[in-house]
Structures are given as structure tokens and as C-alpha cells.
């Protein structure tokens, strides 16, 4: 569910008409619903209320400080994949004991930062990384708490770019190699083994891949127990999908029921890393129609948001529903909704049936709260969009729109000698 709805043929976010917001803040603009964010977090977290667990929101989905602070205030932790995300999480007030650090390419600087902050644990992706973290912990005079990310070789049945749990993936360690790595970790002076981590992909719309992965993890846990390795945390990652179009992903309560059924008798704390399922449908991208264009073969709606603002359609071929802020006409036409970027791949929708619109009208690109702003760029030297959080009948600009000056602030013009 979400709090974007029509009232008197006008699209609202909670109690604010989006046309008013577009006029006052401008476009392109990301808009998030506070009530939706809060509700989605509570539904997911509440599904596991009867077991020891920690919901670590996946920062990469949407890293705005206000959103991180909201989830932190509700008892959530975070899953991070870079030093920058750790910096953001701490800036937002997330306690270090609620932070887990994933990702295949942690640098020395990032490892040191995380060790000094005292995060809950590193999810380690390779034995070389294990050695590096052990070495840095020794130099800093501390012990690094770790889990190994295990790759269970399960097909998540999702887009190949966001599939992470199969043998060919760069992520994780296969089960047999993981056993050897845990044996190695047992003998390292500066490592404390806390858990096992597993994340198989994103935008999963079926429960069965999660269950298949868990069955393989249970066998691994039994073998680790026989080795004398005590597991206190089982990090099951994220990946639960959302409806963009006709998808029907499982509800978090159904997901939880299936997970807990497989984990009967296990006495460790569960960690989850939901991202998209919490923020995806809690945000939209507002854009203004600049021009309409008709050719022999196509009708185009040219808008002021492009692939630099929302790259998912161009990168993944992803579907986002597009709705007018005002439903003024019942007449429809098939159009491509395209942006101003100098690329043929710059589109938000192709061959889409939409109400007829004109220059100056506004559109809402739905389900843009996850991997929207965080994947945006300055391509074609376009300033990144503003971000707005709506709560009831008030809105808060939680990221100012970039200016042209902002884009060149860190650059210097080299003064070359003429010799």
C-alpha cells in the first residue's frame, strides 16, 4: 500500500496535492510519503516480532539522511556497502551496533573507519578480504566481528543484473569454500566469528528461492556446529520484491512465515536487509511535460526528467507506472515518454498508453523510491533533482536541488604553461 491517491481527479501525496508541490519546489523532484515509509517498515519488522531479529535497512536503495534517521528512530539498523554509506548512517544517528557492512570491494580506509566506529559485523566476501580485515584489526588493536557471505547457488528468478546468489556471481563464497574459510577464521587472532550471511538477489517475487537458500544454509550451520563454530547471527539479506506493474510478490507476513518454518529450532538472532520493499512504493518522481512530438511512427512526450534522474528503465528495461497529476481527459494515445538526455536510450516508458497531455502538464513516475535518486547522476551536466518528504499536510525539502555552481564546485581549471 502507499499514500498516493486521486482526490477530485487530482493526485495527492498524503494530504498535499502534488500539483502544488510541483509548482513550489519545481521539477524534476523526488517525493516520499512519510506514512508509507513508516507503515512499510513496521509491517516488515513486525512480521518477525516473535523472534530475536534486527531489521537492517539497505542504504543503497535510498540513502537520504532523513529516511535513514526515520528508520533508526523506529529501532532499525542499516546494511551498508561503502564507507560513504557508513558515514551517512552515523550522520543520521544509527548506532554502530546496528550496522552490518556488506560488499565485495572494501578498501583499507573503509575497513579502518568501520573498525574504529565499532560496527556490529562485516559480511566478508572472500578469504583475501578476511585476511585484510584481520590485519587491519591487529594494527588498530581490536577484534573484527565477522560473518562470511555464503553463496548457496540458488536461482532467484530475477533480472540477471540483480541476481547475486548463483555460482557465476561475484558475490559470496560457495558452501565448501566457506567451510574452509570459517576454519581459517577460527585461527586468526583478530577475528571474532559472529554469523553467516546470505543474500541471493533483488526484486524477488516468489518465496521458493528464499526457502531453497535456507535449506542449504541449515546444512551448512550443522556442519559449522560440528566444527565448533558458534553462530550467533544469521543474516538472510533482503530481496523481497514490490509490484511495479503486474507482479504479485509475497506479503512480508507470508515471507516471514515461510522463513520461520524453515528455521525452527535455531537459536540465533536473525538479520534482514530490506530495501526496495520498504522504500520502493513510498516514492515517486515528479516531472513536467516540455513538448509533445509526433513522427510517422511514434508519439513522444518529452519531459524534464531523464535517465540521469531515473536510470532504471534505460538500464534494466524496468517498468514504472506513469500517472498525470490531473486527470483532465479520457482520451488516450500510445507514446514514448522520453527525457532531454542526448541518448536514444533516454526514456522513462516506451509504447505506453497514457492520457493525452500537453506542454506544461505534470506526470508522476510511480514506484521510484528505491534506486531512483541514489543511482542518479550529472550526465549531460544536469543538476540532480530535489528530494521532498511529505508528512500529512506539510512537506520538507530533505535535499536541495543542485545548481550549476554545485556541479563544478570541486573542479579546478588547470593553468598550463605555454612553453
Q: Which residue has the higher pLDDT, 237 or 359?
A: 359
Flag whether 414 is in a domain.
Answer: no
- From the list 396, 376, 245, the residue with the least C-alpha distance to 321 is 245
Length of the chain: 419
DSSP string, 120-189: SEEEE-SHHHHHHHHHHHHHHTS-EEEEEEEE------S-GGGB-SSTTSSSSEEHHHHHHHHHHHHT-T
Flag whether 417 is in a domain.
Answer: no
Whether residue 387 is annotated as binding a ligand: the answer is no
Last residue of a domain, one of 245, 277, 309: 277
Encode 268-294: b = buried (16+ Cβ within 10 Å), e = exposed: bbbbbbbbbbbbbbbbbbbbbbeebee
Q: Which phi and psi angles does 382 have, rounded to 5°?
A: -105, 125
Cα distances (Å, whole numbers) of residue 93 to 8, 40, 58, 97, 304: 40, 21, 15, 12, 35
Residue reference for cell 539498523: 77
Last residue of a domain, one of 277, 301, 316: 277
Flag whether 415 is in a domain.
Answer: no
122, 265: one domain: yes
273, 285: one domain: no
Encode 188-224: b = buried (16+ Cβ within 10 Å), e = exposed: bebbebbbbbbbbbbbbbebebbebbbebbbebbeeb
Flag whether 55 is in a domain.
Answer: yes
212, 93: one domain: yes
Cα 176 off chain centre by = 30
DSSP 37: H
pLDDT in tens, 147-173: 999 988 776 554 444 444 345 555 668
Q: Coil, strand or helix: which one is 396? A: strand
Q: Flag whether pLDDT at 205 surpasses 90.
A: no
241, 96: one domain: yes
Flag whether 188 is in a domain.
Answer: yes
Q: Cα(167)–Cα(152) distance, rounded to whole angstroms?
A: 8
Flag whether 77 is in a domain.
Answer: yes
Last residue of a domain, one of 243, 277, 311: 277
DSSP 282: G
Handedness of CA 395, 357, 283, 161 (dihedral sign): negative
284, 239: one domain: no
What pLDDT sits at residue 319?
Answer: 94
By residue range, what is the domain housing residue 371? Answer: 4-31+280-408
What pLDDT sits at residue 169?
Answer: 56
Q: Cα(26)–Cα(14) distance, rounded to whole angstroms?
A: 19
Per-chain mean pLDDT for the chain: 92
Whether residue 409 is annotated as binding a ligand: the answer is no
pTM of the model: 0.93
Residue 111: which CATH number?
A: 3.20.20.10
For the question of residue 29 being annotated catalytic, the response is: no
Residue 355: which CATH number?
A: 2.40.37.10
Q: Flag whether pLDDT at 131 surpasses 60.
A: yes
Whether residue 239 is annotated as binding a ligand: the answer is yes
pLDDT in tens, 13-53: 999 999 999 999 999 999 999 999 999 999 999 999 999 99
Name the domain count of the chain: 2
383, 257: one domain: no
Whether residue 312 is annotated as binding a ligand: the answer is yes
Residue reference for cell 538472532: 269
Flag whether 41 is in a domain.
Answer: yes
How many CA atoms are closer than 13 Å to the CA of 332, on its beta-carbon side? 9
Q: Flag whether pLDDT at 94 surpasses 80.
A: yes
117, 162: one domain: yes
Whether residue 405 is annotated as binding a ligand: the answer is no
Whether residue 238 is annotated as binding a ligand: the answer is no
Flag whether 263 is in a domain.
Answer: yes
pLDDT in tens, 274-306: 999 999 999 999 999 999 999 999 999 999 999
- From the list 158, 172, 173, 282, the residue with the least C-alpha distance to 210 is 158
DSSP 383: P
Q: 411: which 3 cell numbers?
A: 573542479
Beta-bridged to residue 168, according to DSSP, are none
79, 113: one domain: yes
319, 387: one domain: yes
Count of helices and strands (H, E) across the chain:
12, 21
Q: Cα(391)–Cα(92) distance, rounded to whole angstroms?
A: 19
Whether residue 57 is annotated as binding a ligand: the answer is no
60, 103: one domain: yes
DSSP 308: T
Instruction: Please state, as a whole number, how many other Cβ atoms lie within 10 Å of the Cβ of residue 340.
Output: 16
- Determine which of 92-96, 175-179, 322-326 has the lowest per-residue pLDDT on average: 175-179
18, 105: one domain: no
Q: How confident is the model at residue 309 (pLDDT cuts 50, 70, 90)?
A: very high
Judged on CB neighbours under 10 Å (0-12, 13-18, 19+), 386 is buried
237, 293: one domain: no
What pLDDT sits at residue 161?
Answer: 41
Residue reference for cell 511514434: 298
Q: How confident is the model at residue 76 (pLDDT cuts 50, 70, 90)?
A: very high
What pLDDT sits at residue 152?
Answer: 80
Q: What is the mean pLDDT of residues 217-243?
A: 90
Check 29, 56, 142, 342 and give the catalytic one. Answer: 342
Q: Cα(4)–Cα(90) distance, rounded to whole angstroms?
A: 31
Whether residue 273 is annotated as binding a ligand: the answer is yes
What pLDDT sits at residue 262?
Answer: 87
Amino acid at each position: 500500500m502507499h499514500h498516493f491517491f486521486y482526490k477530485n481527479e487530482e493526485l495527492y501525496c498524503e494530504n498535499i496535492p502534488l500539483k502544488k508541490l510541483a509548482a513550489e519546489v519545481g521539477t524534476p523532484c523526488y517525493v516520499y510519503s512519510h506514512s508509507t515509509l513508516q507503515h512499510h517498515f513496521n509491517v516488515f519488522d513486525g512480521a518477525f516480532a516473535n523472534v530475536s531479529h534486527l531489521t537492517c535497512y539497505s542504504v543503497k536503495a535510498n540513502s537520504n539522511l532523513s529516511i535513514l534517521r526515520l528508520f533508526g528512530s523506529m529501532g532499525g539498523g542499516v546494511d551498508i556497502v561503502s564507507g560513504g554509506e557508513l558515514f551517512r548512517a552515523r550522520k543520521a544517528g544509527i548506532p554502530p551496533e546496528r550496522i552490518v557492512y556488506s560488499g565485495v570491494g572494501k578498501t583499507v580506509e573503509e575497513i579502518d573507519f568501520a573498525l574504529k566506529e565499532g560496527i556490529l559485523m562485516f559480511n566478508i566476501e572472500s578469504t583475501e578480504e578476511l585476511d585484510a580485515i584481520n590485519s587491519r584489526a591487529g594494527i588498530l588493536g581490536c577484534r573484527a566481528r565477522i560473518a562470511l557471505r555464503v553463496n548457496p547457488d540458488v536461482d532467484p528468478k530475477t533480472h540477471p543484473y540483480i541476481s547475486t546468489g548463483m555460482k557465476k556471481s561475484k558475490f559470496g563464497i560457495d558452501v565448501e569454500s566457506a567451510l574452509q574459510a570459517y576454519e581459517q577464521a577460527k585461527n586468526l587472532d583478530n577475528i571474532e566469528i559472529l554469523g553467516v550471511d546470505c543474500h541471493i538477489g533483488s526484486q524477488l517475487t516468489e518465496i521458493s528461492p528464499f526457502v531453497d537458500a535456507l535449506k542449504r544454509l541449515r546444512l551448512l550451520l550443522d556442519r559449522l556446529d560440528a566444527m565448533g563454530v558458534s553462530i550467533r547471527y544469521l543474516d538472510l539479506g533482503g530481496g523481497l520484491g514490490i509490484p511495479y506493474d503486474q507482479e504479485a510478490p509475497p506479503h512480508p507476513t507470508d515471507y516471514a512465515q515461510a522463513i520461520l518454518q524453515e528455521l525452527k529450532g535455531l537459536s540465533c538472532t536473525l538479520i534482514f536487509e530490506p530495501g526496495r520493499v520498504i522504500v520502493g512504493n513510498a516514492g515517486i518522481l515528479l516531472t513536467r511535460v516540455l513538448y509533445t512530438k509526433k513522427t510517422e511512427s511514434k508519439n513522444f512526450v518529452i519531459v524534464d526528467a531523464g535517465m540521469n534522474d531515473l536510470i532504471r528503465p534505460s538500464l534494466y528495461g524496468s517498468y514504472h507506472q506513469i500517472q498525470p497529476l490531473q486527470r483532465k481527459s479520457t482520451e488516450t494515445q500510445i507514446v514514448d515518454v522520453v527525457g532531454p538526455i542526448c541518448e536514444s536510450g533516454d526514456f522513462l516508458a516506451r509504447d505506453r498508453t497514457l492520457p493525452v497531455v500537453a506542454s506544461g502538464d505534470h506526470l508522476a513516475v510511480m514506484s521510484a523510491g528505491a534506486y531512483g535518486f541514489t543511482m542518479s547522476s550529472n550526465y549531460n551536466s544536469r543538476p540532480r533533482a530535489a528530494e521532498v518528504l511529505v508528512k500529512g499536510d506539510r512537506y520538507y525539502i530533505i535535499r536541495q536541488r543542485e545548481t550549476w555552481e554545485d556541479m563544478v564546485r570541486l573542479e579546478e581549471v588547470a593553468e598550463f604553461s605555454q612553453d
